Amino acid sequence: MEAFATFAAVIAVGILVVVVWSVARRGAGALNLDLLTKDPVDFAFGNVKEGLANAFAGTIVLVGLATAMTLPVGILVAIYLNEFARASVRTGVSLALDVLNGVPAIVIGIFVFGLFVVGHGQSGFAGSFALACLMLPLVSRATMEILALVPNSLREASLALGVPRWRTTLSVVLPQTIGGIVTGTTLAVARVAGETAPLLFTSSIVGLRTSWNPHHALQSIPVAIFELSEQPDPADHARAWAAALVLLLFILFASLGARWLATRGRRKLTQR
Amino acid sequence: MMEEREMSTTFEPAVKVETRGTTLPPRERLERIFHIENLDAVYSGKTAVKGVTMEVYKNLVTAIIGPSGCGKSTFIRCLNRMNDLVPGFTMTGTIRYHGQDICGQGIDPVAVRRHIGMVFQRPNPFPRSIYDNVAWGLKVLGLKDHMDERVERALTQAALWDEVKDRLKASALSLSGGQQQRLCIARAIAVEPDVVLMDEPASALDPIATQAIEQLMNDLKSEYTFVIVTHNMQQAARVADMTAFFSISRGAEGQRSGELVEYDATEKIFTAPADRRTEDYVTGRFG
């Protein structure tokens, strides 16, 4: 039994190692500063293939906007459920969040396509809204978890002074949870930065120049990887691998950073 | 009329209990601050206290004693509507505070707690500086003038000033348990409440810290009214003017609930209790 279980664990770690190694091996060659800073086509010299700056800029805008949309809503949902809602409502809404978390990204993509793109065209806003739908349950659940760790005695201390409930939540409870919120958000960012499906419908018909304007469709790293891998030119494949490596490194560091923040935050909360 | 007790010759408390021996003026002359009538408190169908009727008098220390599970804490938490926060809690009966029903329609529990502060069993300072622990409540409640003086006054009243005056910016969590509890008392009295409820404030503290807290209650009762829950009879005897003894009674179907057995001057409760159950408890035969 133990041998099988150990073997299974080795397989799990092995998959990660193989993925990281194969991406690194194929991508490292094409990874250079031009990839990050130059647009795919330099028009001055004809059709020379260079960087993927438009994809990196697009991902930054898309994920940044999605985070800005998710954070306030996600935190408020968690506060409502943990601080104010009745137990039955809490169970129901938590379940809804879990279901939303399980909705396939492509379904979210189609939903946002029908909502915003039909009749208006693709845009960075539509893309980031789709990503925000995916981030919301992650941020809410992480915030709820950390809110539940805040000792009730702190809430009581504040309420017993004659401080209103909303003020107690804002000034006593919430400051305790910043670490957890940052952790949850970082994990959510790492997760959606690699999402392709919701962006295919909402933000994929793009030009080759770097744009920071979310009113138009924006290129993104995962969509760029998808498109490059469909091209016949081996140089495009190399750039796809390099972009994949950048994405992988970003997610790796984001996850490690989130973990570090989480242990720090938890230690602070459980000290008392 | 209470029957004259024949027990009095054999009555001897198991623990040596020294009351302060001060005599109180007759109850009619004392100012009523709480008038509790027929209070029942129920947690999700389980009755915690049943039929409590008593009065609490101004500028006295009133102790609530009794065995574990007799509903002392539940009772005291009714007095500032702290139980409102517990899901499934319901309460019937009336609690009049200066004649006003604090559970009546349109009464804001926040306003109730503004006048009736509370110190909890375990010290629960905010994870902020010592100064901010006292000052935060003042700021939020709009008592912003003379902030430094108010903080100093509260810390002095809580007998903590001399120990912390040189490190007001240090974290409150760096203080010892006894200091943290006195900080919580300072925080509670800084906002100038009328009544301070204390739910076993010394149960997690060592004897010296306990003594400091008992001393400060004695010093401050000219300004505040204290109600203290304690499982420590000596403590009740040392600090309280009036003592209420709660016990567990069994209903017709064996369900347990807390009830008020006897309420009288502390001296009387500990030397000549009227009820057999009180006597058993203070002599150590039960509890």
ipTM of the modeled complex: 0.86
User: Distance, in angstroms, between B111 CA and closest chain A CA?
Assistant: 6
**Cβ contacts of A167 on chain B, cutoff 8 Å:** 140
Cβ-based neighbours of A228, under 8 Å, separated by 6 or more: A236, A237, A239, A240, A243
Q: Does B184 touch chain A (CB under 8 A)?
A: yes
**Cβ contacts of A153 on chain B, cutoff 8 Å:** 120, 122, 124
Domain parsing of chain A, residue ranges = 2-270
* E strands, chain A, in order: 41-42, 48-49
Judge contact between B275 and B262, C-beta under 8 A: yes
Order of strands, sheet of B195-199, starting from the edge strand that comes earlier in the sequence: B100-101, B89-97, B32-43, B46-57, B256-265, B242-250, B61-65, B225-229, B195-199, B116-119
Task: Name the more confident of A71 and A36.
Answer: A71
Q: Lowest mean pLDDT: which of A40-49, A188-197, B175-184, B208-217?
A: A40-49
**Residue B1 has what pLDDT?**
44
Average pLDDT, chain A: 88
Instruction: Count A/B contacts: CB-CB distance under 8 Å.
Output: 69
Using CA atoms of A8, A10, A15, A20 in order, give the dihedral in degrees to the nearest 10: 160
Most confident of A32-41, A231-240, B119-128: B119-128
User: Distance, in angstroms, between B263 CA and closest chain A CA?
Assistant: 26
**Residue B5 has what pLDDT?**
46
Confidence of residue A14 (pLDDT cuts 50, 70, 90): very high
Which amino acid, A180? G
- Please state whether beta strands B46-57 and B32-43 pair in parallel, antiparallel, or not at all (unpaired): antiparallel
Max Cα separation, chain A? 73
Interface test with A, best of B113, B120, B185 (most A CBs within 10 A): B113
Q: Which residues pair with B264 in a beta bridge?
A: B243
**Cβ contacts of A161 on chain B, cutoff 8 Å:** 113-114, 117, 137, 140-141, 187-188, 191
Q: What is the mean pLDDT of residues B59-85?
A: 92
Q: How far apart are CA B258 and CA B69, in angstroms?
A: 7
Max Cα separation, chain B? 61
**Cβ contacts of A86 on chain B, cutoff 8 Å:** 87
**Cβ contacts of A164 on chain B, cutoff 8 Å:** 110
**Residue B143 has what pLDDT?**
87
Domain parsing of chain B, residue ranges = 30-121+192-282
Q: Does B176 touch chain A (CB under 8 A)?
A: no
Q: Which residue of B has its CA nearest to A175?
A: B127
User: Distance, in angstroms, between B85 CA and closest chain A CA?
Assistant: 9
Query: Considering CB atoms only, which of A161, A164, A272 is closest to B173?
Result: A272
Written as six digits, the tokens of A117 are: 């793109």
Cross-chain Cβ contact B87/A157 below 8 Å: no
Most confident of A48-62, B80-94, B112-126, B251-265: B112-126
User: Distance, in angstroms, between A80 CA and closest chain B CA?
Assistant: 15
**Cβ contacts of B124 on chain A, cutoff 8 Å:** 151, 153-154, 156-157
Q: Does B204 touch chain A (CB under 8 A)?
A: no
Write down the pTM of the prediction: 0.82
Q: Which residue of A has its CA nearest to B135?
A: A161
Q: Which residue of A has its CA nearest to B180?
A: A272
Cross-chain Cβ contact A161/B173 below 8 Å: no
Cβ-based neighbours of B86, under 8 Å, separated by 6 or more: B43
Query: Considering CB atoms only, which of A155, A161, A171 is closest to B117?
Result: A161
**Superfamily (CATH) of domain B30-121+192-282:** P-loop containing nucleotide triphosphate hydrolases (3.40.50.300)
Residue B189 has pLDDT above 90, yes or no: yes
Q: What is the 3-state secondary structure (H, E, C) of chain B?
A: CCCCCCHHHCCCCCCCCCCCCCCCCCHHHCCEEEEEEEEEEEECCEEEEEEEEEEEECCCEEEEECCCCCCHHHHHHHCCCHHHHCCCEEEEEEEEECCEECCCCCCCHHHHHHHEEEECCCCCCCCCEHHHHHHHHHHHCCCCCCHHHHHHHHHHHCCCHHHHCCCCCCEHHHCCHHHHHHHHHHHHHHCCCCEEEEECCCCCCCHHHHHHHHHHHHHHCCCCEEEEECCCHHHHHHHCCEEEEEEEEECCCCCEEEEEEEEEEHHHHHHCCCCHHHHHHHCCCCC
**Cβ contacts of A88 on chain B, cutoff 8 Å:** none
**Per-residue pLDDT tens for A103-116?**
999 999 999 999 99
Written as six digits, the tokens of B235 are: 């403590």
Residue A2 has pLDDT above 50, yes or no: yes
Q: How far apart are CA B151 and CA B149, in angstroms?
A: 5
**Cβ contacts of B125 on chain A, cutoff 8 Å:** 157
Residue B251 has pLDDT above 80, yes or no: no
Cross-chain Cβ contact B117/A176 below 8 Å: no
User: Distance, in angstroms, between A152 CA and closest chain B CA?
Assistant: 10
Q: Which CATH class is domain A2-270?
A: mainly alpha
Q: How far apart are CA A1 and CA A14, in angstroms?
A: 20
Q: Which residues pair with B95 in a beta bridge?
A: B36
Q: How far apart are CA B17 and CA B22, in angstroms?
A: 14
CA B280 from centre of chain: 23
**Residue B6 has what pLDDT?**
46
**Residue A269 has what pLDDT?**
60
Q: How far apart are CA B87 and CA B120, in angstroms?
A: 19
